[in-house]
Amino acid sequence: MSLDLTTTIEHLYSGTPVYKNELINLLKCEDPQIIELLRSKANSVRQEIYGTDVYIRGLIEFTNYCKNNCYYCGIRRDNLVATRYRLAPEDILSCCDEGYKLGFRTFVLQGGEDGFFTRDKICHIVASIKDKYPDCALTLSIGEWSRADYQAFYNAGADRYLLRHETACKDHYSKLHPENMCLDTRKECLFNLKDIGFQVGSGFMVGSPFQTLDNLVEDIFFLAQLKPHMIGIGPYITHKDTPFRDKESGSLDMTLKLISILRLSHPKALIPATTALGTIHPNGRELGLKAGANVIMPNLSPASVREKYMLYDNKLSTGKEAAEGLDELKKSVAKAGYKVVIDVGHSKLI
């Protein structure tokens, strides 16, 4: 077993700064003993801070219209094969009713960047959910807006905001997105959200086309600078109706390794075992928990639209992935050694 890498893991664990080349070596490493050491350290940090608790979030995918054209994403504007839908405010509220009964105390509204949902409409939806469920946290994941818009969402009652930076390298960013999208804007949005007072989540796809190990290290360093409350990472998965249709998907092992590295460097962060992780491996979510994740986001969208929010091929939305499959999820989480709890599940960073 490499002593150098053992030291790197020790440094991550103790919060001692770690150099780029050390991280690259750790990302390259295939030694099962080192990988197991990394995983078990990350798991013990997560146990120290969050015990065996797993927080659940009810994910409501309320629109798949999107003005953006990200090359990797199945709901990109130019995917003319996608069947588009948007939920009415009453439908969104009934998802919350359903979710509340099941034990969810956080709702996440995610969607494409859909001009139909103006600032006022979003504020109205946020306020009506918070009015009915003041004991729940509300998370938005609706892309890039102005600082004034974010402030309005916050004032209306939104508590958290998820906006993955996708990749922290400008050059890589430009290979994943058309010219009108820019990494600086995305980063500015994240710092604005944080400044306003949101609990902020960021993250990236693992194994996205053209990604290098250097890029991943930049992602790790960017997150160290941002210090988000939540970090969502998942494997990139190919979608057949995008320009990246011929590109390979990201790997389970690299995603798990990165979850562990991020848990060690952000002990108090909320880290989901994502749907994408569950999609590339039948046991992906449980493996994610064992690697340091502590959040799961089952799908609370109406069954009739789930198939349409297809960010990537074969995206899971039934069984353990579905809010109504919560019993099954609880069992599999328990089998992995953890416990799904009914809790608003704030980050211990605040």
Binding site for ligand SAH (CB under 6 A): 72-73, 110, 112-113, 141-143, 163-164, 166, 205, 234, 236-237, 239, 276, 311-312
CB 211, min distance to ligand SAH, A: 12
State whether the Cα torsion 232-237-239-242 is positive or negative: positive
Kindly tell me which of 34 and 56 has the beta carbon lying closer to ligand SAH. Answer: 56
CB 346, min distance to ligand SAH, A: 21
CB 137, min distance to ligand SAH, A: 18
Q: Strands 339-341, 106-111: parallel, antiparallel or unpaired by DSSP?
A: unpaired
CB 210, min distance to ligand SAH, A: 14
CB 339, min distance to ligand SAH, A: 27
Kindly tell me which of 72 and 338 has the beta carbon lying closer to ligand SAH. Answer: 72
Kindly tell me which of 29 and 60 has the beta carbon lying closer to ligand SAH. Answer: 60
CB 24, min distance to ligand SAH, A: 23
Residue 296 contacts residue 56 (beta carbons within 8 Å): yes
Kindly tell me which of 38 and 252 has the beta carbon lying closer to ligand SAH. Answer: 252
Closest C-alpha among 252, 168, 269 to residue 206: 252
Kindly tell me which of 10 and 313 has the beta carbon lying closer to ligand SAH. Answer: 313
Measured CA distances, 54 to 292, 294, 320 (Å): 11, 5, 14
As a three-state string, the secondary structure of 70-128 is: CCCCCCCCCCCCCCCCECCHHHHHHHHHHHHHHCCCEEEEEECCCCCCCHHHHHHHHHH
For residue 53, report the phi and psi dihedrals to the nearest 5 degrees.
-65, 135
157: left (phi over 0), alpha (psi -120 to 50) or beta: left
CB 70, min distance to ligand SAH, A: 7
| 265's tokens | 């460097």
Kindly tell me which of 40 and 69 has the beta carbon lying closer to ligand SAH. Answer: 69
CA atoms within 13 A on the CB side of 281: 19
Kindly tell me which of 72 and 173 has the beta carbon lying closer to ligand SAH. Answer: 72
Q: Which are the contacts of 276, defined by CB distance < 8 A and separation ≥ 6?
A: 205, 234, 235, 236, 237, 312, 315
